[in-house]
Structure 1
Amino acid sequence: MNEFSNPVENNASFWKRLWIYQKERFPLLGHGLLVAAFSFSAIAYSRICRGAEGFVDTKTFLVGIFTTVSLFLLVRIFDEFKDAEDDARYRRELPVPRGLVSLSELKKVGIGIVMLQLALNLLFFPKMLLLYAVVIIYLCLMGKEFFIPEWLKKHQFWYVTSHMLIIPLIDIYASGLDWLRADVAAPLGLLYFFAVSYMNGIVLEIGRKIRAPHDEKEGVLTYSAMLGLHRSVYSWVFVLAITLSLTIAASYYAGHGGLTYLSLGIIFMGCCIPAALFLKSQTRGAAKAIEVASAIWTIAMYLILGGVPMLEQLWTEI
């Protein structure tokens, strides 16, 4: 209990408290749509690259989406444990420090998720368990900060680059719902797709940690505080440009047409607008616009690479 605690919420039923927790820390609707696009595009891009017709069956897709969405939820739960000390000191308004949910409750939720993931994958596609195990092992290493927590805190570059690897690892699992279950080699073009996923993670990471000057808080790491306001925004745009280049390479490998490259250019220019506005106004709303642009960019990259081309292909087959 602290000054941010709400006794009515804290004394509510477990499921109501868990619902409030997800709204604040892992909104299932927003995150679910993003991860669904992520998973659909990974599968679709794999099938496009190897010239396979159609899409995977509905059962495979739904179980795959549940696994990928819940894997990202596990990442959030692991972060609650990893950041518990700092949250208790500097972010006391968050659900765990204010007593909405306890770490022991989140541990039980995490164990339940893993058990359900294992059961579903074992039941529907046991061969996916190897890729699943790789993700879980890496997630556990992340939870322990690779046993060098103090060094990582002092070297933010390596902290971010090491933690973002979880995204392409989940991507490998998602794409494996196509190539591994079909008993074929993974298409080489997936390397471009995995690189895009990795850089998308960095786009999201930087974009959500750019703050207006009056919103900076002691003990809360932001790139605008660490790099300076202008350098943080320029870094975000630079990462955006790298991701654009990788997406162009992935599109070329998959044989996408000229409209794809035109769309990429338009989306890139559109996402740069919030960055320019923030540099000019330095307001909370402009900073939030960069975070929103990061999410829009990420969804757009996945849809352009795999989602839209697959939907077009399925439409022509009707």
Structure 2
Amino acid sequence: MTSPTTDPTLHPPAHRGPVSLARSVPRLSAFFAERAPARVYVTYAVLWVLALQGTLAVLNPAAGWRLGAPLLAEIVSVYLALLFIRVVDEQKDLEYDRRYNPDRPLPRGAIDVAELRAVMALIVVAQLALNAWFSWPLALLMAVDLAYICFLVRLERWSAVVRERIFVNLLVSYPVQALLSVHVWLAFREATGTGPATDALLAAVLCACTFMHYEFARKTGARKVPGATLYSNAVGLRASVALTVGCAVAALGIALAVIRPWELNGAAALAGWLPLTAFGFIWGGAERFTGRRTPTWPPGPAMGFLAWCYLGVFVAALAVVRPGVGG
């Protein structure tokens, strides 16, 4: 889930009759192109799964990790979960968007709640079918995660503390991503037969630190803005910048500790140091932000760090593990 809102209650716009497939497909296509562009969501799903499973493979070199159908299915599953989160958030934020973002698809009438709920149902069916094909535990865990996403809407409606205090909101909403990381680990175990929980924890912390850099960065502002959902409003600018940079440095430290490039030779050693080059995105974001060229930490370098760090971890894992293909 994303940021807390002033009123997360779902209030559907006026109903316009039953959902028409011919009418809804192009509307939904335009909605996802605008609010969940494939170049961002697919890239994130691919790199997240590859980096996390690559980390697990480095920690379990005898696992026989393969780049095959189970890995592709896990990427599709994570991508569908990200779309589900986006669809739920659009409905949760409707009243807020009517006031502050009236040009978004739902408040401007380019899509309606009935259509979004129909696509939610389709995603649930697709997720359960896809995951059950490989493993019932995978299907059950995904069902729990999707149910928790929906529960958060009600939780924000019931609790002003969750709705209005940004760190509390982060605490209760991050389990959505944490459960997806557990799902990726469980998919790795189902495919390889290995992967102890201790390794899963380390890989999940790596992904959490990487994501948290982006999360703190995009909500760190140079000035205190009353009513804005900024971490810098809650803890001050210096602390928010420290969280932003600290999470990124921690992610890189964990990546290097897992890969241990100083113990590798030749091309593998070069690949092993690749995650460290993601530090350039931290420097670039900090330089633009402290130079007052952006009112908040620029999202481009923050997203660039996330993508490059994940890509670096995966490439390093390829060099260390040399996985098979197929299966």
Could you state the TM-score of these two structures normalised by the residue count of structure 2?
Answer: 0.78
Q: Pairwise CA RMSD of aligned residues?
A: 3.1
Measured after TM superposition, the shift of residue 46 of structure 1 is 1.4
For 1:275, give the aligned amino acid: A
How has the CA–CA distance of structure 1 residues 202 and 132 changed in structure 2, closer, same or farther, with 3 Å as cutoff? same
The question of whether the paired residues in 2 share the 8 Å contact of 1:37 and 1:299 is answered with: yes
Runs of 4+ in 1 over 6 A off after TM superposition: none
Q: Distance in 2 between matches of 1:90 and 1:61?
A: 40
1:242 is aligned, of 236, 247, 250, to 247
1:124 is aligned, of 126, 130, 134, to 134
The question of whether the paired residues in 2 share the 8 Å contact of 1:41 and 1:302 is answered with: yes
Per-residue Cα deviation, 1:15-61 (whole angstroms, up to 9, x for no partner)? 22222211221111211111101011222221221223553352212
Measured after TM superposition, the shift of residue 98 of structure 1 is 0.4
Q: Distance in 2 between matches of 1:203 and 1:53?
A: 30
Alignment of 1:154 onto 2:159? no
Q: Distance in 2 between matches of 1:79 and 1:316?
A: 37
For 1:41, give the aligned amino acid: A
Alignment of 1:309 onto 2:316? yes
Q: Which residue number in structure 2 is paired with residue 300 of structure 1?
A: 308
How has the CA–CA distance of structure 1 residues 185 and 283 changed in structure 2, closer, same or farther, with 3 Å as cutoff? closer
Q: Distance in 2 between matches of 1:274 and 1:234?
A: 16
Q: Which residue number in structure 2 is paired with residue 7 of structure 1?
A: none
Q: Distance in 2 between matches of 1:317 and 1:99?
A: 48
Which region of structure 1 is more displaced relative to structure 2, 106-115 or 197-206? 197-206
The question of whether the paired residues in 2 share the 8 Å contact of 1:271 and 1:293 is answered with: yes
Per-residue Cα deviation, 1:206-239 (whole angstroms, up to 9, x for no partner)? 33345687xx8x9653456x359xx447624533
Q: Which residue number in structure 1 is paired with residue 19 of structure 2?
A: none
Q: Which residue number in structure 1 is paired with residue 55 of structure 2?
A: 45
* Structure 1 residues 105-184: aligned runs within 5 Å: 105-145=115-155, 148-184=158-194
The question of whether the paired residues in 2 share the 8 Å contact of 1:199 and 1:243 is answered with: yes
Per-residue Cα deviation, 1:160-215 (whole angstroms, up to 9, x for no partner)? 222122112101111211114444452523212212222333322233345687xx
Q: Distance in 1 between matches of 2:323 and 2:107?
A: 53
Measured after TM superposition, the shift of residue 95 of structure 1 is 0.9
The question of whether the paired residues in 2 share the 8 Å contact of 1:91 and 1:220 is answered with: no
* Structure 1 residues 201-280: aligned runs within 5 Å: 201-210=211-220, 221-223=229-231, 226=233, 231-232=236-237, 235-257=240-262, 263-280=274-291
Q: What percentage of aligned pairs have identical amino acids?
A: 21
Q: Distance in 2 between matches of 1:250 and 1:310?
A: 10
Structure 2 unaligned runs (5+)?
A: 1-21, 264-269
SS in 2 for 1:92: coil
The number of equivalent residue pairs is 297
For 1:309, give the aligned amino acid: A
Could you state the TM-score of these two structures normalised by the residue count of structure 1?
Answer: 0.80
For 2:94, give the aligned amino acid: A
